[in-house]
A and B are shown apart, each in its own frame.
Chain A
Amino acid sequence: MNGNRFTRSIGMLLSTAVLAAPIAHAADVPKAPVPKSPYLPIIYRYADTMLERGRDSYGPQKTGLFLSALDRTSLSPLTNRPPAAGGVREDDRVGNSDGPLVGSNPQHDQNFLRLLYTLSELSGKAHYRQAADAELKWFVEQSAATESLPWDRTMSWDVLQDRLIETPGGSASVHELFRPWMLWDRCFELAPQAGKRFALRLAAPMTPGMGSRRHAGFHIRTWAVAYARTKDEEFLKRLDALLAHAEKLYAFKTGAPENLNDNSAAVALAIDCDGAAHHVSEPRASRLRALAAREDEVFCASPHDVKNALGFLTGLAPASGTTSQNRHSALWRRRGGTGTTAQIGMLCVSRYDNTGKIAYRDLILAAADAYLDAPPKADEDPWPVTFGQAISLQLAAWRHSAKPVYLEGARRIADLAVEKFWGTNALPKASFQTDHHEAITGADTLALALVELHLNILHITAVRCPPNTIDR
């Protein structure tokens, strides 16, 4: 079948000996079946239901915005304020502090909007993209027309009363972004002038602490993109001021996480500075990259022991303390303002995908290992976002190691997520222990992860899933 030794010798030694042996057919080797991927129908059903039942068709203005919370039984706006998923701050929810959750907040739904763009590419159907575009356009233009920004961590738009919802934890002067906003480019394409005014409204956070480090990055990114789109020098002035502030304030020595309230904030800042560098010219770009590299060093030089601690080191014990008092991220439970191991792992994925620094690769693999056989405990109330990040983390480990155990791990986590969050319903619930839909806990991130898993199972590259790394 494959040629005997004599034939091979002839083939190697005599260049004129053509085809002494017959060629076997690939059909002689059994074909492998196409792997199964049950995830995409769940996502289409989720998106279709949101398009049909989850948009604002209420009150005087039918804005078409996506509601950020819904009753999963009636597929309509909530008439009450259901108990929050474990760890959600009341001020952050999309409703007045004593009222029902009837708000729309595109920051909470950002990955859902990115999902819709991806579904349009996958399906060839424009209505997903059109719905996302309509939401962005309305929000950008609304914010430009009024003095308030109907979005940030604590503000949303009441779709019944058509007015701004402001919760006590918010501040009218400083808008605290819930996540970095990765849809600036699309906003500028849809509404250039309004987009510019919108970006100018964002004031810089200049106070020290964890929040400012993360938010410094969010704002640096915003102004870099806004400058690239508008060439308005005001954005560069703001960027320069915040960059100088960050260079000075965050000039920590390598491996000194005791100076940080949250070690992972360094990686978040690195991601946004590096991202911003692509939108500005030299020497500003190099300064941004240098700051990002320094933040990488701060994080990677920390004595993480992900394998044993099942989490990243997020802060060292005080000098007099013991090692056991060091703070680490947890697999499923969010501790205070600190992200889970999967969340920080996804920050490492972003940095590794963009820099190739192998210290990050080792951390990604260790974090992925931690999730391989560690489902949430019965008393935990995990969020969809953590499942989404755990799935994407496994997929990153699969991409970078070619070890199938990670692809299988992603499938296991995804199957559990589908069972627990969706069940037989079209919409995912806010957490294991709640029964309503509320985007703040990251159903959108989980949905994106399931699409990413589908593309990985079937080796599809014609459509690219957006990086699932914006929850930071």
Chain B
Amino acid sequence: MLFVFTLASHGVEASSTNFLQLIRRYADTMIERGRDTYGPQKTGLLLSALDRATLTPLKVRPAPPGGIRRGDRPGRAWVEMNGANPMLDQNLLRVFYTLSEITSDSRYTKVADEELTWFFNNTMSPRTSLLPWGEHLSWDVIHDIPISGGDEMMHEFARPWVLWERCFALAPEASTKFALGLWEHQIANHKTGGFDRHAPYFEHGPVDGKDFARHGAFYIGTWCYAWKHTTNEVFLRAIETILARFERKRVQKDGSLAATLGPLDLEIAARMVPEQLAMRLRAFAAKEDELILADMQKQFVGDTNVYSPPRWQTGYSAGTLGSSAMFCLARYEQTGHAAYRDTVIKIADRYLDSQPEEDVDAWPMSFAHVISTEVAAHRFTKKPAYLEQARRLAQLARDVFWQDSPLPRASKQTGHYETITGADSLALALLEVHALTHGLTNRIPANTIDR
């Protein structure tokens, strides 16, 4: 009854939005053909790149999707690309957990659990406790070694890691060691909180260098779980140190304030740490809201001096307008702040008649964010136009990226599979559309971690 009501209320054909089948086939193919059964150790890790024609590891380093840097890809420089990088596959792991809930087939959860367990327990650097994942590192499934896409073995987050609860459940000791390693070997100065987003994986050697604020937030988003699961006070000190650093750094030379850490990870942390620290985190986050919303407001009134993100073109350190919407959605879900909801709707409006511009090498991630934006706008307003656009773009994404293969390709202008461009986020977005058009009550994880 619910199914019929949902379709009738939206005027949408179920058959045209049956993306569950597509995503399940993607997941099944990854389980059957995309896990590490190679080299001396058959780790079961999901490969982060594959040949879509043969459904086997790549024998080359394929042409990069537009905007992807050489050193960020899951494979050694200049040779065959066969790395596994769970941070790049994070949304695929979340899709696996969700598929088990939707289909009651536990094998998806089992595969995701095995990946987390093996990776945390077997790939950690003995000296630094850092993991071969993130922006530059991965695990070579053929040679069974940690590798870098570039010249140096540098640890750097690629996204926030939102699977800490699961990791602490599956591999508590390793998760704790990583969180400690992040404090000991990523943060160069424990008094000032000075760090660089790059830290050597093999040996201790952090420097006080380019301390990109978003990385500080990712660290806080790690230590809060470590505190929750261990109550080791070192993690509170770590959080306080980074917070204090950016309480200072947000003040500009002219006395004005600039957004730094962002509010999302601080809000997560505030729910776990003692009240006094939680209050400081929330106060900081509230100020971040003010600063960020003021900047966004300028974009929408057409201020010529304000950078406006592109709609579809993605690249290194250059998100789309859709990714801005995902930030707003995440913050709205945390706080219920109406300005964020309204911004999501404004951005959804801008994409209502939009398709990737001519000759842009659009990524699956760009489609994912726009689709999730339209779904969110529909949820907020109940206007059918948003759902129709979400459905149109989902169908277009299916046709453009999956084509005649069970795996999506890395971008419009490449032909191989590589998750760095967000095939995993697109899968999540298509599940959202499926759930909405089929009246599923399962909770689809928020598509808001690409930041």
The reply to whether B359 and A354 form a contact with Cβ atoms under 8 Å apart is: yes
List residues 85-124 of chain B with CB under 8 A from any CB of chain A. Answer: 114, 117-118, 120-124
Q: Which residue of B lies closest to A28 (CB)?
A: B145
Of B12-20, B63-71, B157-165, B321-329, the segment with at least 4 beta carbons within 8 Å of chain A is: B63-71
| Alpha-carbon separation in the docked complex, A215 to B289 (Å) | 52
Q: A15-B117, A401-B53 are in contact. Are A21 and B148 (CB under 8 A)?
A: no
5 nearest CB pairs, A to B:
A400-B415, A356-B400, A402-B62, A32-B78, A2-B144
| Alpha-carbon separation in the docked complex, A35 to B60 (Å) | 13
The reply to whether A402 and B413 form a contact with Cβ atoms under 8 Å apart is: no
| Chain A residues touching B, majority SS | loop
Which chain A residues border B206 with CB–CB below 8 Å? none
| Alpha-carbon separation in the docked complex, A335 to B39 (Å) | 54
Q: A282-B353, A398-B63, A461-B64 are in contact. Are A23 and B145 (CB under 8 A)?
A: yes
Which chain B residues border A459 with CB–CB below 8 Å? 61, 63-64, 70
> B237 at interface (Cβ–Cβ under 8 A)?
no
| Alpha-carbon separation in the docked complex, A285 to B401 (Å) | 23
The reply to whether B77 and A31 form a contact with Cβ atoms under 8 Å apart is: yes
Give the total of A residues in contact with B, Cβ under 8 Å.
Answer: 53
Q: A11-B118, A23-B146 are in contact. Are A16 and B173 (CB under 8 A)?
A: yes
The reply to whether A32 and B171 form a contact with Cβ atoms under 8 Å apart is: no
Which chain A residues border B353 with CB–CB below 8 Å? 281-282, 285
The reply to whether B412 and A353 form a contact with Cβ atoms under 8 Å apart is: yes
The reply to whether B171 and A15 form a contact with Cβ atoms under 8 Å apart is: yes
> A404 at interface (Cβ–Cβ under 8 A)?
yes
| Alpha-carbon separation in the docked complex, A35 to B53 (Å) | 25
The smallest beta-carbon distance between A185 and chain B, in angstroms, is 11
Which chain B residues border A467 with CB–CB below 8 Å? 359
> A278 at interface (Cβ–Cβ under 8 A)?
yes
Q: A356-B401, A358-B403, A464-B66 are in contact. Are A404 and B122 (CB under 8 A)?
A: no
Q: Pick the contact of A400 from B41, B60, B140, B414 — CB < 8 Å?
A: B414
Which chain A residues border B114 with CB–CB below 8 Å? 12
The reply to whether A275 and B358 form a contact with Cβ atoms under 8 Å apart is: yes
Chain A-chain B contacts (Cβ-Cβ < 8 Å), number:
152
Residues on B facing A (Cβ under 8 Å): 39-44, 51, 53, 58-70, 76-79, 114, 117-118, 120-126, 140, 143-148, 153, 170-174, 177, 202, 315-316, 353, 355, 357-359, 361, 399-401, 403-404, 412-416
Residues on A facing B (Cβ under 8 Å): 2-3, 8, 11-12, 14-19, 21-26, 28-29, 31-35, 274-275, 278, 281-282, 285, 350, 353-356, 358, 361, 395, 398-404, 456, 458-462, 464, 467
Q: Which residue of A lies closest to B70 (CB)?
A: A459
Which chain B residues border A361 with CB–CB below 8 Å? 403, 415
| Alpha-carbon separation in the docked complex, A193 to B326 (Å) | 40
16 CB-based A-B contacts, threshold 8 Å? A2-B41, A11-B122, A14-B121, A15-B172, A17-B121, A23-B145, A26-B76, A26-B148, A29-B76, A32-B78, A404-B59, A404-B60, A456-B63, A459-B61, A460-B70, A461-B315
The reply to whether A461 and B126 form a contact with Cβ atoms under 8 Å apart is: no
Tell me which of A33, A274, A354 has the highest count of chain B C-beta atoms within 10 A of its own C-beta: A354
Which chain B residues border A353 with CB–CB below 8 Å? 359, 361, 412-413
Q: Which residue of A lies closest to B411 (CB)?
A: A399
| Alpha-carbon separation in the docked complex, A350 to B120 (Å) | 44
Which chain B residues border A2 with CB–CB below 8 Å? 39-41, 144-145
Q: Which residue of B lies closest to A397 (CB)?
A: B415
Q: A8-B41, A34-B78, A285-B353 are in contact. Are A22 and B126 (CB under 8 A)?
A: yes
| Alpha-carbon separation in the docked complex, A282 to B44 (Å) | 49
Which chain A residues border B79 with CB–CB below 8 Å? 32
Tell me which of B40, B58, B146, B413 has the highest count of chain A C-beta atoms within 10 A of its own C-beta: B413
The smallest beta-carbon distance between A61 and chain B, in angstroms, is 36
Q: A281-B353, A402-B62, A459-B70 are in contact. Are A32 and B77 (CB under 8 A)?
A: yes
Q: Which residue of B lies closest to A30 (CB)?
A: B79
Q: A29-B143, A285-B353 are in contact. Are A18 and B123 (CB under 8 A)?
A: no
| Alpha-carbon separation in the docked complex, A29 to B121 (Å) | 23
The reply to whether A19 and B60 form a contact with Cβ atoms under 8 Å apart is: no
Q: Which residue of A lies closest to B174 (CB)?
A: A18
Which chain A residues border B121 with CB–CB below 8 Å? 11, 14-15, 17-19
| Alpha-carbon separation in the docked complex, A395 to B415 (Å) | 12
The smallest beta-carbon distance between B85 and chain A, in angstroms, is 14
Which chain B residues border A19 with CB–CB below 8 Å? 121-122, 124, 126, 174
Which chain B residues border A403 with CB–CB below 8 Å? 60
The smallest beta-carbon distance between A26 and chain B, in angstroms, is 5
